[in-house]
Protein backbone atom coordinates (compact mmCIF):
# COMPACT_ATOMS: atom_id res chain seq x y z
CA UNK A 1 0.00 0.00 0.00
CA UNK A 2 0.93 3.65 -0.43
CA UNK A 3 1.14 5.05 3.10
CA UNK A 4 1.51 8.74 4.02
CA UNK A 5 3.87 9.07 6.99
CA UNK A 6 3.58 12.53 8.54
CA UNK A 7 6.60 13.51 10.59
CA UNK A 8 8.39 10.82 8.63
CA UNK A 9 11.84 12.36 9.04
CA UNK A 10 11.47 12.32 12.82
CA UNK A 11 12.57 9.64 15.25
CA UNK A 12 9.67 7.16 15.17
CA UNK A 13 8.44 8.25 11.74
CA UNK A 14 11.74 7.56 9.96
CA UNK A 15 12.06 4.11 11.50
CA UNK A 16 8.45 3.33 10.57
CA UNK A 17 9.06 4.44 6.98
CA UNK A 18 12.01 2.02 6.85
CA UNK A 19 9.89 -0.78 8.32
CA UNK A 20 7.06 -0.09 5.85
CA UNK A 21 9.46 -0.33 2.90
CA UNK A 22 10.96 -3.52 4.34
CA UNK A 23 7.43 -5.00 4.45
CA UNK A 24 6.81 -4.09 0.79
CA UNK A 25 4.78 -0.88 1.26
CA UNK A 26 5.56 2.50 -0.32
CA UNK A 27 6.05 5.25 2.29
CA UNK A 28 5.15 8.83 1.35
CA UNK A 29 7.20 10.83 3.85
CA UNK A 30 5.97 14.31 4.83
CA UNK A 31 8.01 16.53 7.16
CA UNK A 32 9.03 20.17 7.58
CA UNK A 33 12.25 19.45 9.52
CA UNK A 34 11.25 21.38 12.63
CA UNK A 35 12.35 18.31 14.63
CA UNK A 36 14.70 16.65 12.17
CA UNK A 37 17.24 17.38 9.44
CA UNK A 38 17.16 16.87 5.65
CA UNK A 39 20.03 14.34 5.58
CA UNK A 40 17.69 11.81 7.23
CA UNK A 41 15.74 11.63 3.96
CA UNK A 42 18.86 10.67 2.03
CA UNK A 43 19.57 7.93 4.54
CA UNK A 44 15.97 6.74 4.40
CA UNK A 45 16.24 6.46 0.62
CA UNK A 46 19.25 4.21 1.14
CA UNK A 47 17.41 2.04 3.68
CA UNK A 48 14.28 1.92 1.51
CA UNK A 49 16.30 1.28 -1.67
CA UNK A 50 14.76 4.39 -3.19
CA UNK A 51 11.20 3.14 -2.74
CA UNK A 52 9.71 6.21 -1.10
CA UNK A 53 8.71 9.76 -1.94
CA UNK A 54 9.29 12.86 0.15
CA UNK A 55 7.44 16.17 0.50
CA UNK A 56 8.50 19.08 2.70
CA UNK A 57 5.33 20.44 4.30
CA UNK A 58 3.71 21.57 7.54
CA UNK A 59 0.72 19.34 8.28
CA UNK A 60 -1.22 22.43 9.36
CA UNK A 61 -0.95 23.77 5.79
CA UNK A 62 -4.18 22.44 4.33
CA UNK A 63 -3.56 23.56 0.74
CA UNK A 64 -0.10 22.08 0.57
CA UNK A 65 -1.22 18.83 2.15
CA UNK A 66 -4.15 18.62 -0.27
CA UNK A 67 -1.72 18.96 -3.16
CA UNK A 68 0.39 16.11 -1.79
CA UNK A 69 -2.64 13.85 -1.36
CA UNK A 70 -3.87 14.75 -4.84
CA UNK A 71 -0.54 13.74 -6.34
CA UNK A 72 0.32 10.70 -4.23
CA UNK A 73 -3.11 9.13 -3.64
CA UNK A 74 -2.23 7.42 -0.34
CA UNK A 75 -4.31 4.48 0.84
CA UNK A 76 -3.50 5.03 4.50
CA UNK A 77 -2.03 7.62 6.88
CA UNK A 78 0.27 7.16 9.86
CA UNK A 79 0.29 10.44 11.76
CA UNK A 80 3.44 11.21 13.78
CA UNK A 81 3.78 14.95 13.15
CA UNK A 82 3.48 16.43 16.65
CA UNK A 83 5.54 17.98 19.39
CA UNK A 84 6.38 15.39 22.01
CA UNK A 85 8.19 16.72 25.09
CA UNK A 86 6.32 16.86 28.41
CA UNK A 87 8.51 19.59 29.92
CA UNK A 88 8.43 21.77 26.82
CA UNK A 89 4.64 21.51 26.67
CA UNK A 90 4.40 22.82 30.23
CA UNK A 91 6.47 25.84 29.16
CA UNK A 92 4.75 26.38 25.78
CA UNK A 93 1.19 25.03 25.94
CA UNK A 94 -0.30 27.05 23.07
CA UNK A 95 2.41 25.84 20.72
CA UNK A 96 1.46 22.26 21.56
CA UNK A 97 -2.28 22.77 21.14
CA UNK A 98 -1.88 24.56 17.80
CA UNK A 99 0.46 21.98 16.31
CA UNK A 100 -0.73 18.69 17.79
CA UNK A 101 -4.48 19.22 17.59
CA UNK A 102 -4.53 21.48 14.52
CA UNK A 103 -2.51 19.13 12.32
CA UNK A 104 -4.74 16.18 13.25
CA UNK A 105 -7.90 18.08 12.30
CA UNK A 106 -6.38 19.10 8.96
CA UNK A 107 -5.43 15.52 8.14
CA UNK A 108 -8.80 14.08 9.12
CA UNK A 109 -10.63 16.63 6.95
CA UNK A 110 -8.41 15.73 4.00
CA UNK A 111 -8.75 12.03 4.71
CA UNK A 112 -12.53 12.34 4.42
CA UNK A 113 -12.25 14.42 1.23
CA UNK A 114 -9.95 11.92 -0.48
CA UNK A 115 -11.70 8.80 0.79
CA UNK A 116 -8.68 7.38 2.63
CA UNK A 117 -9.94 4.63 4.91
CA UNK A 118 -6.97 3.69 7.09
CA UNK A 119 -5.56 5.95 9.81
CA UNK A 120 -3.00 5.20 12.52
CA UNK A 121 -2.67 7.77 15.30
CA UNK A 122 0.46 8.21 17.36
CA UNK A 123 -0.76 8.47 20.95
CA UNK A 124 1.00 8.02 24.27
CA UNK A 125 0.86 6.32 27.65
CA UNK A 126 0.62 9.83 29.10
CA UNK A 127 -3.17 9.55 28.60
CA UNK A 128 -3.24 7.27 31.66
CA UNK A 129 -1.86 10.01 33.93
CA UNK A 130 -0.83 8.58 37.30
CA UNK A 131 -2.25 5.03 37.02
CA UNK A 132 -4.12 3.33 39.87
CA UNK A 133 -2.62 -0.06 39.05
CA UNK A 134 0.34 -1.40 37.10
CA UNK A 135 0.71 -2.58 34.45
CA UNK A 136 -1.85 -0.47 32.59
CA UNK A 137 -4.18 -2.07 30.07
CA UNK A 138 -6.23 -0.43 27.33
CA UNK A 139 -9.19 -0.42 29.71
CA UNK A 140 -7.30 1.42 32.46
CA UNK A 141 -8.91 4.79 33.16
CA UNK A 142 -7.77 7.81 31.18
CA UNK A 143 -6.85 10.26 33.91
CA UNK A 144 -6.52 14.02 34.06
CA UNK A 145 -3.51 14.86 31.93
CA UNK A 146 -0.32 15.77 33.76
CA UNK A 147 0.86 18.06 30.94
CA UNK A 148 -0.43 19.92 27.87
CA UNK A 149 1.34 17.31 25.73
CA UNK A 150 -0.63 14.53 27.42
CA UNK A 151 -3.86 16.44 26.96
CA UNK A 152 -3.26 16.89 23.21
CA UNK A 153 -3.05 13.10 22.93
CA UNK A 154 -6.29 12.69 24.89
CA UNK A 155 -8.00 15.21 22.63
CA UNK A 156 -6.70 13.45 19.53
CA UNK A 157 -8.05 10.12 20.73
CA UNK A 158 -11.43 11.63 21.55
CA UNK A 159 -11.68 13.11 18.06
CA UNK A 160 -11.18 9.65 16.57
CA UNK A 161 -13.74 8.11 18.95
CA UNK A 162 -16.23 10.82 17.99
CA UNK A 163 -15.68 10.13 14.29
CA UNK A 164 -16.40 6.47 14.92
CA UNK A 165 -19.62 7.39 16.74
CA UNK A 166 -20.59 9.56 13.78
CA UNK A 167 -20.30 6.49 11.51
CA UNK A 168 -17.53 8.05 9.45
CA UNK A 169 -16.34 5.51 6.85
CA UNK A 170 -12.86 5.38 8.35
CA UNK A 171 -10.98 2.73 10.26
CA UNK A 172 -8.42 3.94 12.75
CA UNK A 173 -5.95 2.51 15.20
CA UNK A 174 -4.76 4.45 18.24
CA UNK A 175 -1.31 3.32 19.38
CA UNK A 176 -0.40 4.31 22.92
CA UNK A 177 3.40 4.29 23.04
CA UNK A 178 5.36 3.92 26.17
CA UNK A 179 9.02 5.09 25.90
CA UNK A 180 10.65 4.51 22.52
CA UNK A 181 14.46 4.43 22.50
CA UNK A 182 17.25 3.00 20.36
CA UNK A 183 18.05 3.37 16.68
CA UNK A 184 18.13 1.41 13.43
CA UNK A 185 20.73 -1.37 13.58
CA UNK A 186 22.50 0.20 10.58
CA UNK A 187 23.10 3.40 12.63
CA UNK A 188 21.94 5.36 9.57
CA UNK A 189 18.95 6.81 11.44
CA UNK A 190 18.17 7.38 15.10
CA UNK A 191 16.88 9.93 17.58
CA UNK A 192 18.08 13.41 16.60
CA UNK A 193 17.02 16.03 19.13
CA UNK A 194 17.62 19.59 17.99
CA UNK A 195 19.10 21.54 20.86
CA UNK A 196 19.19 20.15 24.37
CA UNK A 197 17.43 16.75 24.59
CA UNK A 198 14.21 16.52 26.58
CA UNK A 199 14.30 12.71 26.76
CA UNK A 200 16.52 10.45 28.86
CA UNK A 201 18.39 8.26 26.38
CA UNK A 202 19.66 10.93 23.97
CA UNK A 203 20.83 12.89 27.00
CA UNK A 204 22.66 9.79 28.20
CA UNK A 205 24.36 9.22 24.84
CA UNK A 206 25.27 12.89 24.43
CA UNK A 207 26.76 12.91 27.94
CA UNK A 208 28.75 9.78 27.13
CA UNK A 209 29.98 11.42 23.93
CA UNK A 210 31.12 14.54 25.81
CA UNK A 211 28.54 16.80 24.18
CA UNK A 212 26.79 17.37 27.51
CA UNK A 213 28.72 17.99 30.72
CA UNK A 214 26.50 15.80 32.85
CA UNK A 215 23.18 14.00 33.00
CA UNK A 216 20.58 15.15 35.52
CA UNK A 217 18.32 12.46 36.96
CA UNK A 218 15.11 14.27 37.85
CA UNK A 219 13.84 13.00 41.19
CA UNK A 220 15.29 10.42 43.57
CA UNK A 221 12.44 10.40 46.08
CA UNK A 222 9.70 8.64 44.10
CA UNK A 223 7.92 5.71 45.72
CA UNK A 224 9.85 3.23 43.60
CA UNK A 225 12.47 0.62 44.61
CA UNK A 226 15.44 2.93 43.97
CA UNK A 227 13.66 6.30 44.21
CA UNK A 228 13.91 7.15 40.51
CA UNK A 229 11.06 7.20 37.99
CA UNK A 230 10.09 3.98 36.23
CA UNK A 231 9.18 3.78 32.55
CA UNK A 232 8.54 1.09 29.96
CA UNK A 233 11.30 1.42 27.36
CA UNK A 234 10.66 -0.07 23.91
CA UNK A 235 13.07 -0.34 21.00
CA UNK A 236 12.03 2.04 18.23
CA UNK A 237 12.21 -0.73 15.60
CA UNK A 238 9.78 -2.87 17.62
CA UNK A 239 7.53 0.18 17.72
CA UNK A 240 7.93 0.77 13.97
CA UNK A 241 7.02 -2.81 13.18
CA UNK A 242 3.83 -2.43 15.25
CA UNK A 243 2.73 0.37 12.89
CA UNK A 244 3.23 -1.94 9.92
CA UNK A 245 1.08 -4.55 11.64
CA UNK A 246 -1.57 -1.93 12.47
CA UNK A 247 -1.88 -0.80 8.83
CA UNK A 248 -2.11 -4.43 7.68
CA UNK A 249 -4.76 -5.17 10.31
CA UNK A 250 -6.84 -2.18 9.23
CA UNK A 251 -6.67 -3.33 5.61
CA UNK A 252 -7.65 -6.87 6.56
CA UNK A 253 -10.38 -5.92 9.04
CA UNK A 254 -13.97 -6.43 7.94
CA UNK A 255 -15.36 -3.86 10.35
CA UNK A 256 -16.80 -0.83 8.56
CA UNK A 257 -15.64 1.62 11.22
CA UNK A 258 -13.40 1.36 14.22
CA UNK A 259 -11.16 3.31 16.57
CA UNK A 260 -9.20 0.51 18.20
CA UNK A 261 -6.68 1.21 20.98
CA UNK A 262 -3.45 -0.73 21.57
CA UNK A 263 -0.71 -0.34 24.15
CA UNK A 264 2.81 -0.66 22.75
CA UNK A 265 5.41 -1.38 25.37
CA UNK A 266 7.90 -3.99 26.50
CA UNK A 267 5.64 -4.92 29.42
CA UNK A 268 8.17 -4.19 32.16
CA UNK A 269 9.32 -1.09 33.94
CA UNK A 270 12.92 0.08 34.19
CA UNK A 271 14.05 2.84 36.54
CA UNK A 272 16.23 5.71 35.42
CA UNK A 273 19.08 4.32 37.53
CA UNK A 274 18.66 0.92 35.85
CA UNK A 275 18.82 2.52 32.40
CA UNK A 276 21.99 4.39 33.36
CA UNK A 277 23.62 1.22 34.71
CA UNK A 278 22.63 -0.80 31.63
CA UNK A 279 24.02 1.86 29.31
CA UNK A 280 27.33 1.89 31.20
CA UNK A 281 27.48 -1.89 30.88
CA UNK A 282 26.80 -2.08 27.11
CA UNK A 283 28.91 0.97 26.17
CA UNK A 284 31.80 0.64 28.57
CA UNK A 285 31.46 4.37 29.32
CA UNK A 286 31.10 5.71 32.86
CA UNK A 287 28.48 8.46 32.92
CA UNK A 288 28.78 11.73 34.79
CA UNK A 289 25.40 12.30 36.43
CA UNK A 290 23.76 14.07 39.35
CA UNK A 291 20.31 14.18 40.92
CA UNK A 292 17.93 17.10 40.50
CA UNK A 293 14.35 17.91 41.56
CA UNK A 294 11.34 16.21 39.98
CA UNK A 295 10.14 17.69 36.69
CA UNK A 296 6.59 19.10 36.39
CA UNK A 297 4.34 16.68 34.50
CA UNK A 298 6.31 13.50 35.22
CA UNK A 299 4.55 10.52 36.80
CA UNK A 300 6.36 8.20 39.25
CA UNK A 301 5.93 4.92 37.38
CA UNK A 302 4.14 3.48 34.37
CA UNK A 303 4.52 0.36 32.25
CA UNK A 304 2.33 -1.55 29.86
CA UNK A 305 0.30 -4.66 29.49
CA UNK A 306 0.58 -5.19 25.72
CA UNK A 307 -1.32 -8.50 25.50
CA UNK A 308 -3.98 -7.01 23.22
CA UNK A 309 -1.42 -6.03 20.57
CA UNK A 310 0.03 -9.53 20.75
CA UNK A 311 -3.34 -11.24 20.38
CA UNK A 312 -4.96 -8.95 17.79
CA UNK A 313 -2.04 -7.55 15.78
CA UNK A 314 0.29 -10.52 16.17
CA UNK A 315 2.98 -8.19 17.48
CA UNK A 316 5.42 -8.46 20.37
CA UNK A 317 8.75 -6.87 21.24
CA UNK A 318 11.80 -8.68 19.89
CA UNK A 319 14.57 -6.51 21.32
CA UNK A 320 15.84 -5.88 24.86
CA UNK A 321 16.72 -2.74 26.81
CA UNK A 322 20.40 -3.59 26.26
CA UNK A 323 19.81 -3.88 22.50
CA UNK A 324 18.11 -0.49 22.41
CA UNK A 325 20.83 1.27 24.41
CA UNK A 326 23.58 -0.33 22.34
CA UNK A 327 21.90 0.78 19.10
CA UNK A 328 21.34 4.30 20.49
CA UNK A 329 25.04 4.53 21.40
CA UNK A 330 26.17 3.29 17.97
CA UNK A 331 23.96 5.97 16.38
CA UNK A 332 25.45 8.66 18.64
CA UNK A 333 28.97 7.49 17.78
CA UNK A 334 28.23 7.52 14.07
CA UNK A 335 26.48 10.89 13.99
CA UNK A 336 29.38 12.60 15.77
CA UNK A 337 32.21 10.71 14.09
CA UNK A 338 33.27 8.85 17.22
CA UNK A 339 35.07 5.48 17.01
CA UNK A 340 32.66 2.54 17.25
Candidates 149, 222, 233, 303; catalytic one: 149
CATH of 2-182+233-265+303-317, one of 1.10.3720.10, 2.40.50.140, 3.40.50.970, 3.40.50.720: 3.40.50.720
Distance CA 114, CA 36 (A): 28
The pTM of this model reads 0.95
Distance CA 229, CA 282 (A): 21
pLDDT of amino acid 145? 87
Q: 44 Cβ partners below 8 Å, 6+ apart?
A: 8, 9, 14, 17, 18, 29, 52, 54, 189
Closest to 186 measured CA to CA, from 48, 33, 8, 26: 48
DSSP alpha helix (H) spans, the chain: 11-22, 39-47, 62-72, 86-91, 93-96, 102-114, 148-165, 200-208, 236-252, 272-283, 307-308, 321-335
Q: 224 Cβ partners below 8 Å, 6+ apart?
A: 230, 271, 300, 301
Sequence ranges of the domains in the chain: 2-182+233-265+303-317
Catalytic residue list contains 97: no
**CA–CA–CA angle 25, 244, 9 (5° rounding):** 75
Going residue by residue through the chain, which has 340 residues, state the pLDDT in tens, using 9 for 90 and above: 999 999 999 999 999 999 999 999 999 999 999 999 999 999 999 999 999 999 999 999 999 999 999 999 999 999 999 998 888 899 999 999 999 999 999 999 999 999 999 999 999 998 998 899 999 999 999 998 888 999 999 999 999 999 988 877 789 999 999 999 999 999 999 999 888 898 999 999 999 999 999 999 999 999 999 999 999 999 999 999 999 999 999 998 766 667 999 999 999 999 999 999 999 999 999 999 999 999 887 889 999 999 999 999 999 999 999 999 999 999 999 987 766 5
Q: What is the DSSP string of 105-130?
A: HHHHHHHHHHT--EEEEEEEGGGG-S
Amino acid sequence: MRIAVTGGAGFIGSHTAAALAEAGHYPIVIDDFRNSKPFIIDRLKTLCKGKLSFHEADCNDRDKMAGIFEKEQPEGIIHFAAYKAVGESVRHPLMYYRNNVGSLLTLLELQKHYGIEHFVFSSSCTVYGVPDELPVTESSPVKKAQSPYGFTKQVGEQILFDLQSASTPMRSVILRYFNPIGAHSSALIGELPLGEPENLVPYITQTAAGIRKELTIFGQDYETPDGTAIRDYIHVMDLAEAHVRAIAWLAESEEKASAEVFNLGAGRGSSVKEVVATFEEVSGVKLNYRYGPRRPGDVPAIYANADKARKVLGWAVQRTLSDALRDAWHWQQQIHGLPV
